[in-house]
Amino acid sequence: MSNPLSTDSDDDLGDLFQEPSRPPSPLPSFAYYTSKSGRNELKIRLVGSHPLWAHHLWNAARRFAQYLEDNPEFCRDRFVLELGAGGALPGLIAATLDARKVVLTDYPDPQLIRNIEINVENNIPYMTRDRVSVQGHIWGKPVDPLFESIRDSKPHEAGGGFDMIILSDLVFNHSQHDALLQTCSRALLSPSSNSDQTGSSKTPCLLVFFTHHRPHLVDEDMDFFKKAEQQGWKAEKVVEDRMEPMFPDDPGDEEVRATVHGWRLWRA
């Protein structure tokens, strides 16, 4: 290879200070979810690539959507919050199931937030779109901005907070368990003194669906629930369902990687 400084041409020197061309950012992709009734097909736009893994529609999100369709009482006339929404399939399904208000959130990256807004525009009819809002939220930070989204829709006597919080495939982020629980504790509607203590659909709750993507870190995933119980949360498993593994060639037990788990958490 010749030395670029050996040329006598001044014109060639400019090339030394040009940044090498970068590969173009991956284009967005689309995934589809057909409702159990077959009446609706949701087209979920996914960012082309992202370090927070928002460029996949995970099995947990699909199974979550099915669970909500099977149990619409969790959504109907309720105030719903989705954290770390990504493509926001479960939250969008909640909106189609007549939730009074759905707030879809993710890390306040413009790319992520705009992508969720597009999914709302593509999947929620214009006449009911005012019942869905999108905003950025960092787990563990103040939740007052989240309450602003529901304040006009919520009767004053009902108090602040959400009736149900969606956590879809978030527990793999082990370093954020404490912050995630902090947001949930602050954002969930406090149970009334006469509320059902059994964790029924009428009790304010978290719904947490996930897959153990790294079988050797199952215990670390489950630490989320240990920490929750230490903080006074009650937990009940509601789903265990084997699906097709998303990445068949990944290491570790395929049965573990293919199984979606769903839990309901509530406070006494």
Binding residues for S-adenosyl-L-methionine: 58, 84-86, 106, 139, 168
H or E element in which residue 234 lies: strand 233-242
74 closest CA partner among 268, 228, 267, 264: 264
With tokens 């989204």, the residue in question is 149
Residue 252 CB partners (closer than 8 Å, separation 6+)? 214, 215, 216
In terms of Cα–Cα distance, which of 206, 171, 208, 210 is closest to 186?
A: 206
The answer to whether the beta carbons of residues 33 and 89 sit under 8 Å apart is: yes
Residue 139: exposure state from Cβ atoms within 10 A (0-12, 13-18, ≥19): buried
Q: How many CA atoms lie within 13 A of 66 on its CB side?
A: 17
- Cα separation, 55 vs 25, in Å, equals 12
- Return the DSSP state at 41: E
Q: Which residues are annotated as a binding site?
A: 58, 84-86, 106, 139, 168
Coil, strand, or helix at residue 18? coil
> Cα(207)–Cα(226) distance, rounded to whole angstroms?
16
| Contact (CB, 8 A) for 61 and 94 | no
